A and B are shown apart, each in its own frame.
Chain A
């Protein structure tokens, strides 16, 4: 598998910044009309950072997150992942990079409704051809970590919103990725559950040195951040360093 070689070379290359956006544009074409959701964004994210990307609705946060997560390619400019231009990678290489290097957490949780909790958490490992026994062990550990060891056989529909998001967190950690990308992770949760989720991610960042990127319009999340990227109308307005915590 040649994609493995390429993905490994990206994954293990430590001499470049983790992610670099270089004059990135995203232009959506709607029939005749063009709309620029990102207009020349420059941003560099290092390994082990806790970053909050903050901006009002429609400012282009999700668009940016899609690019950071290799779900989409820029219309103009370049996204580098550990020095590799992601536009140069094939579909299956991008898929493998997402699977191994990035853990996604979505506002809508996005669990697979036909799989139970354990199977949902195992899924990223299965896409990586991991040994089924090891996957199961890892998933069980992670569910334990998020406090859901009682719910391994439940379907997502049998869980509360907070529990679902904890499953989603466990899933995002299954393949032990460097980067956790969360788009409005607390958007559908009450503030108490939201705090639990954020505290959990913060722990992870502190203990395991995971790079955490959270996209939100919720200013209360800023207190967890080491850096806040303010975005408005597709433009990075300012980048704020918060070194006090």
Chain B
């Protein structure tokens, strides 16, 4: 029999199959959807990460309280980061900054606090991250640039520089220069709007720390959520980071065992993030794998039933000249087609999933992230589906091909 005839036979079987047998392709749909979604997610994150790395200020070092590592607390601006993971029982204070002053290779050092507070603007309310920085140092240390207005100055008090997201997207009305936000009952005037950076800075409000302390609940003067250090160059960042750690361990009287702070360079944070990303991808891949296996079992089960139901037809086909190979090919092709249909639905599901990622509020991702599947991933998804179809069809098809024509014809 020709391949085109196998295909035609398989297709007619598929088109005439019962609704019940269609249900079993759900497994494959989910599996392929997951595979496709995962690949495009991790590719997008990878790309995002690379973009970010290329823009990142690799001289930045961040010190956080608690022994856990700071996670991506810095945007590419390096200054106006979001809240870092900190444990409440230890604090970073002005004393720590003083202790570190003597280290060589530090260009800038400043403490920073942050917290989420309700911000009112023209009768609307939004919860936003308020970051308090040392205005004197921040204006030089930050890589952020003002799109309009200016950065903070030493004499500033209840004024703020806002991210482009806060200016444009958070409130119905765009927040402009010199307009006033109300935070914890205080009026805060906007003096600058930052260029969009794609990081968390876009959605932050950056203020002088002395004013921020009074606005952020739980904040105390001279107690920081993190200390930001800029090394003089990227090359020495790692050495400076080690020096900082050693010096702080001495000044805070802690050892490696009971260490109550952590020091990370931006480079190391990128590493941590990509490690985390990898393990997440691995986890999702495991889910995808399991659903593919479930899908394969589903298809195999349907195929076994289908072969049983078609026993007499198989007998007839053999009587009129079908070889074992013909029967084998027809059923494998049928199973491959079932896989293909599942794959097409799976790819659709996967692209829906992918388009939902940005909505899931994944902070790591940029809004500019592409939300469509690449043709390469689509083809890969379909390939997997067909492969699963073929693999799960092999045994039932083999069984069909080995039926003795007399027995098959007698089958009731």
A residues at B contact (CB < 8 Å): 66, 69, 71-72, 91-92, 95-96, 98-100, 103-104, 106, 108, 110-115, 119, 123-124, 126-129, 132, 171-172, 175
Contact = CB atoms under 8 A, between A and B. Distances in A.
Contacts of B404: 72
A98 B319 contact: yes
Nearest to A66: B406
A92 B312 contact: no
Contacts of A91: 323-324
Contacts of B406: 66, 71-72
Nearest to B404: A72
Contact of A126 (B1, B319, B409): B1
Contact of A95 (B8, B16, B323): B323
A123 B320 contact: yes
B321 interface: yes
Interface string B305-328: 000000011011111111111100
B405 interface: yes
A112 B313 contact: yes
Given A95-B318, A112-B316, A129 B324 contact: no
A92 B316 contact: no
15 contacts: A91-B323, A98-B319, A103-B320, A104-B320, A110-B319, A112-B316, A114-B15, A115-B9, A119-B12, A123-B317, A123-B320, A126-B5, A127-B1, A127-B320, A127-B322
Interface string B331-358: 0000000000000000000000000000
A132 B4 contact: yes
B13 interface: yes
B20 interface: no
Interface centre among A66, A95, A129 (most CB of B within 10 A): A95
Interface string B400-412: 0000111001000
Nearest to A175: B321
A99 B409 CA distance: 16
Interface of B: 1-2, 4-5, 8-9, 12-13, 15-16, 312-313, 315-326, 404-406, 409
A113 B13 CA distance: 9
A99 B405 CA distance: 13
A106 B318 CA distance: 13
Contacts of A128: 321
Contact of B405 (A71, A92, A172): A71
A115 B1 CA distance: 16
Contact of B320 (A92, A99, A132): A99
Contacts of A110: 312-313, 315-316, 319, 409
Given A123-B320, A124-B321, A114 B409 contact: no
Given A91-B324, A98-B318, 5 more contacts: A66-B406, A71-B406, A96-B321, A99-B322, A126-B1
Contacts of A98: 318-321
A99 B316 CA distance: 11
A148 to B, nearest CB: 18
A95 B402 CA distance: 13
B12 A115 contact: yes
Contacts of A126: 1-2, 5
Given A126-B2, A129-B2, A71 B409 contact: yes
Contacts of B4: 132
A95 B321 contact: yes
Interface centre among A69, A98, A108 (most CB of B within 10 A): A98
Nearest to A104: B319
Contacts of A100: 321
B320 A71 contact: no
B19 to A, nearest CB: 15
Contacts of B326: 95, 127
A113 to B, nearest CB: 7
Nearest to A127: B321
Nearest to A111: B316
Contact of B323 (A71, A72, A96, A112): A96
A129 B312 contact: no
B403 to A, nearest CB: 11
Contacts of A171: 320
Contacts of A99: 320-322
